[in-house]
Amino acid sequence: MNIVRKLALSASMVALCCTAASAANLTVGFSQIGSESGWRAAETSVTKQEAEKRGVTLKFADAQQKQENQIKALRGFIAQGVDAILVAPVVATGWEEVLKEAKEAKIPVVLLDRGVDAPQDLYLTSVASDQVKEGRVAGEWLAKTVGSKDCRVVELQGTVGSTPAINRKKGFEEAIASSKNISIVRSQTGDFTRSKGKEVMEGFLKAENGGKNICAMYAHNDDMAVGAIQAIKDAGLKPGTDILVVSIDAVPDIFAAMMKGEANATVELTPNMAGPAFDALDAYLKSGKQPAKFIITESKLYTPADDPKGEYERRKGLGY
Amino acid sequence: MRRLSLSDIAKPQLLALAFILVLNWMVFPGFFNVTWQDGRLFGSLIDVINRGAPVAILAIGMTAIIATRGVDLSVGAVMAVAGAVAATSAVAGQPLIVTLAGALLVGLACGLWNGSLVAFLGIQPFVATLVLMVAGRGVAQLITEGSIVTFSDPALIFVGTGSVLGLPMPAVIALILMIAAHLVMRRTAIGLFVEAIGTNLSAANYTGLRARTVILGLYAFGGCCAALAGVIAAADIRGADANNAGLWLELDAILAVVIGGTSLLGGRFSIPMSVLGAVIIQAMNTGILVSGLPPEFNLIVKASVIILILVMQSDRVAEVVSRRFGRMTTRGK
């Protein structure tokens, strides 16, 4: 019922905008997982912005974390004969059948941000970040910053067993492996949340001589880092100076911390997965150019030298 | 003559707490170090009571509900809703009193909703509160629009991170609430009402007790406690995180009540013991954090310790141990 109403609504929206838009207009269906995190909300709003910028008509469907809703949305898009489909798959398995249906209808499908366990010929390409690289960029920054100085690092891991936690840990360890002066002395999970990040950091500070033995803190996401920064301040130390703070994601609040000198570096997980996807689709539909099977987004490093105030303002409205 | 039982020598909960604290001290020798820093006490023990406070406050509300054979699964979600309300109110520039009143009123409304479903519609508490457990988080997400609403109102932040006489504010709030709730239960007839309802609802009704009103009131109190815990959790991180605030804390609260010795079958309860249960859980969590164990072991360690505590509390075990103990003293003679 809900889906039908949404489809009807988006159909009427299509009718509205097509009268005004150019002839070369594409209609693209986008099946989003939901809005479980600030990053996801930002991805949705950036996707809408990118579509508008290119004159693409975007049909948006929120799956509320359910794969069956996504499959229904995809079938709806196929029935309406959209030009292409973007999907951020909530789980990796169970996509084969609906992807085959799209292929039979000759509608290219682009996966955003996460992969699927299905034959590669069933989708055009996938746009995602390289999580191992994100960890590596963070580690390389730390190795470069501390130089030959001894550095005891504490690590706030993501949820135990989750792919980003495993990969971001791996990348960071790879990057500092050659620097014998840098060692990870404590590592615990903060479940990617602010409150757990703070609690875990409080424990680390006590266990490491009130924090005096800690040289740097690496967090698998910015939210945990923001919590940890508060814990460091409560312990009477200066985050960013006494303890270096490096994390991943580049959410607005870490730029706010950078403005105050309390965070040193963050690696961006860009919410703009749709931009490269639209570019690949455009080239494919216009000239039949086959894109690379895996498009990897840039993992850009931000430090206080990169205009944190501007970055904060730029990201604030995206729904993070 | 009354037989000597283990619980006469020492409450098993106190033994459990001592056991965990000693264990923590063994894995981290500095565990008992408490120093004075920036006008407050600082140390792992302080972390235990500070971090344990939200679950302790939840457990205070949960104890009386469980004593009437009920349960409130929605407290974690109510925390998220109250935190979201408090944060948006603080961002809008409202003074602390308005922010607190708003959050507590929302908690009260949630509690009254749960209580009405249980008391007047006769829905099983498990199912009735499950509704709000699921829907509440959605409401919180609607209020915050899916993002973390950060605020910088110093008065509200003080509720989560301030200190009174060197003690962390959340612990002070939990302590005051515990004493107040305990006095209301034990110095008035309300505690007896709760025990009567939990022991036998029909019998309580036949004695002329207005059981429905009492049950409604208990769930309303539980909602307020959850809202208070939610405000503290939000103030602690200076933001309302609708997706994660209070997530799974209803389970910790129920566990704290059970460790405290309140019967899930109703009738027997103790609020201070539930708070002790919350402290035991947090002592374990903090111990894991300072021990340096890899995070993969967190849940295994927690589960093993909890099983051990529950075995220590079991009447059967107490009986066997005291019989052994008894025999040994006879032989000694």
pLDDT by residue (tens digit) across A178-223?
999 999 999 999 999 999 999 999 999 999 999 999 999 999 999 9
Q: Which residue of B has its CA nearest to A226?
A: B237
For helices B298-313 and B271-291, angle between their N-to-C axes, nearest 10 degrees: 150
Under 8 Å CB-to-CB from A100, ≥6 apart: which residues? A122
Angstrom distance (rounded) from CA B73 to CA B310? 21
Average model confidence (pLDDT) for chain A?
A: 91
Q: Which domains does chain A have, with CATH numbers?
A: 2-129+270-289 (3.40.50.2300), 131-269+305-312 (3.40.50.2300)
Q: Which residue of B has its CA nearest to A159?
A: B295
Whether residue B90 is contained in a domain is answered as yes
Whether residue B3 is contained in a domain is answered as no
Whether residue B236 is contained in a domain is answered as yes
Contacts by B7-10 with C-beta closer than 8 Å and gap 24+? B7/B318
Inform me whether the pLDDT recorded for A103 exceeds 90.
yes
Inform me whether the pLDDT recorded for A21 exceeds 50.
no
* Cβ density class B201-235: b for 16+ within 10 Å, e for less: beebeeeebebbebbbbbbbbbbbbbbbbbbbbbb
Question: Residue A114: which pLDDT band, with cuts at 50, 70 and 90?
Answer: confident
Question: Chain B closest CA to A23's CA: distance in Å?
Answer: 36
Angstrom distance (rounded) from CA B249 to CA B228? 14
pLDDT mean over A89-108: 94
CB < 8 Å to B37, chain A: 235-236
Task: Pick A48 or A34 by higher pLDDT.
Answer: A48
Whether residue B122 is contained in a domain is answered as yes
- Inter-CA distances, A56 with A86, A206, B70, Å: 12, 54, 54
Instruction: Yes or no: say if A156 and A228 are a contact pair by the CB < 8 Å rule.
Output: yes
Phi, psi of A301 (to 5 degrees): -90, 130
**Regarding beta strands B167-168 and B163-164, do their DSSP bridges make them parallel or antiparallel, or are they unpaired?**
antiparallel
pLDDT at res. A112: 94
Question: Chain B closest CA to A102's CA: distance in Å?
Answer: 31
Q: Which residue of A has its CA nearest to B24?
A: A207
Q: Do B294 and A191 touch (CB under 8 A)?
A: no
- If we measure between CA atoms, which residue out of A59, A69, A60 comes closest to residue A89? A69
Instruction: Yes or no: say if B55 and B274 are a contact pair by the CB < 8 Å rule.
Output: no
Contacts by B118-127 with C-beta closer than 8 Å and gap 24+? B118/B70, B118/B215, B118/B219, B119/B211, B119/B212, B119/B213, B119/B215, B119/B216, B119/B219, B120/B212, B120/B216, B125/B65, B125/B69, B125/B70, B125/B71, B125/B72, B126/B71, B126/B73
Question: Chain A closest CA to B214's CA: distance in Å?
Answer: 35
Give chain B's contact residues with A (Cβ, < 8 Å).
28, 30, 35, 37-38, 42-44, 47, 51, 141, 145-148, 150, 161, 233, 236-239, 241, 243-245, 247, 285-286, 288-290, 292, 294-296, 298
Angstrom distance (rounded) from CA A177 to CA A169? 12
Beta strands in B227-311 (DSSP E): 239-240
Q: Which residue of A has its CA nearest to B284?
A: A203
Q: Do B290 and A203 touch (CB under 8 A)?
A: yes
Chain Cα centroid distance, residue B89: 26
Whether residue B133 is contained in a domain is answered as yes
- If we measure between CA atoms, which residue out of B57, B17, B41, B53 comes closest to residue B283? B17
pLDDT digits over A277-292, tens only?
Answer: 999 999 999 888 999 9
Whether residue B281 is contained in a domain is answered as yes
Sheet holding A27-32, edge to edge: A57-62, A27-32, A84-87, A109-112, A125-128, A294-296
Question: Domain holding B130: CATH number?
Answer: 1.10.3470
Angstrom distance (rounded) from CA B45 to CA B5? 31
Question: In this complex, which of B247, B290, B295 lies closest to A206 when CB atoms are compared?
Answer: B290
CB < 8 Å to A62, chain B: none
Q: How long a stretch of residues is chain A?
A: 320
Q: H/E element holding A301?
A: strand A301-302
Phi, psi of A54 (to 5 degrees): -95, 0
pLDDT digits over B198-213, tens only?
Answer: 999 999 999 999 999 9
pLDDT digits over B138-194, tens only?
Answer: 999 899 887 889 999 999 999 999 999 999 999 999 999 999 999 999 999 999 999
- If we measure between CA atoms, which residue out of B102, B101, B64 comes closest to residue B219? B64
Question: In this complex, which of A35, A193, A203 lies closest to B241 when CB atoms are compared?
Answer: A193
pLDDT at res. A3: 56
Question: In this complex, which of B150, B236, B294 lies closest to A187 when CB atoms are compared?
Answer: B294
Q: Give the rounded percent of residues in chain A with a pLDDT score beyond 90.
A: 81
pLDDT at res. A123: 95
Whether residue B17 is contained in a domain is answered as no
Instruction: Return the number of other C-beta atoms located less than 10 Å from residue A67's C-beta.
Output: 16
Chain Cα centroid distance, residue B108: 17
What is the sign, positive or negative, of the torsion defined by CA atoms of B49, B54, B60, B64?
Answer: negative
Q: Where in the sequence is the domain holding B56, given as residue range(s)?
A: 39-314
Instruction: Yes or no: say if A93 and A45 are a contact pair by the CB < 8 Å rule.
Output: no
Total domains, chain B: 1
Question: Chain B closest CA to A259's CA: distance in Å?
Answer: 15
Longest Cα separation, chain A: 68
pLDDT at res. A47: 95
Q: Which residue of B has its CA nearest to A316?
A: B147
pLDDT at res. A20: 36
Q: Do A203 and B47 touch (CB under 8 A)?
A: yes
Q: H/E element holding B17?
A: helix B12-27
Angstrom distance (rounded) from CA A43 to CA A128? 12
CB < 8 Å to A207, chain B: 28, 30, 289-290, 292
CB < 8 Å to A234, chain B: 161
ipTM: 0.90
Q: Do A200 and B289 touch (CB under 8 A)?
A: yes
Q: Do B292 and A207 touch (CB under 8 A)?
A: yes
pLDDT at res. A19: 37
Whether residue B61 is contained in a domain is answered as yes
Beta strands in B235-302 (DSSP E): 239-240
pLDDT at res. A23: 34
Residues (pLDDT < 50) of chain B are 1-2, 4, 6, 8-9, 330-333
Angstrom distance (rounded) from CA B164 to CA B172? 7
Q: Do A198 and B237 touch (CB under 8 A)?
A: yes
Beta strands in A74-144 (DSSP E): 84-87, 109-112, 125-128
Q: Do B241 and A226 touch (CB under 8 A)?
A: no
Q: Which residues make beta-bridge pairs with B167?
A: B164
For tokens 């030959």, name the residue.
A148
